[in-house]
Amino acid sequence: MKYLIYDKVGIILRTVECSPAMASIQVKKGEFIMEGEANDDVCKIINGKIVSKTPEEIEATNPTPNPAPVPFEKQIAYITNKQWQAVLARLNKLEKGN
């Protein structure tokens, strides 16, 4: 059987799989146990029931990584084909020395 071990505020500390006879020895001081399965990233235990965490709680325990800012010289430049052709024409003109 699968068991959830959680603390007094309902945070799921770990999941164990064992026989019912071995379940009680899985719990340490200050911990509680209940039968069941849950994803500890998005669930918690309240009054002996599995409930969903709020979006704020999820973000606090598993923050969304902030992408590193892209330096200006590596940012994508959106130009039209007409603008690109004008750039190429100017480069061509510079290369020819006109």
Give the residue carrying structure tokens 């209940």: 34
pTM score above 0.85: no
Q: Are 7 and 30 in contact (CB under 8 A)?
A: yes
**What digits encode the pLDDT tens for the residues 15-72?**
999 999 999 899 999 999 999 999 999 999 999 999 999 999 999 988 888 888 989 9
Angle at 52 between CA 32 and CA 40, to 5 degrees: 55
Measured distance CA(82)–CA(89) in Å, rounded: 11
pLDDT tens column, 2-23: 999 999 999 999 999 999 999 9
**Distance between CA atoms of residues 44 and 11, nearest Å:** 5
Residue that has been written with the tokens 């603390």 in this structure? 7
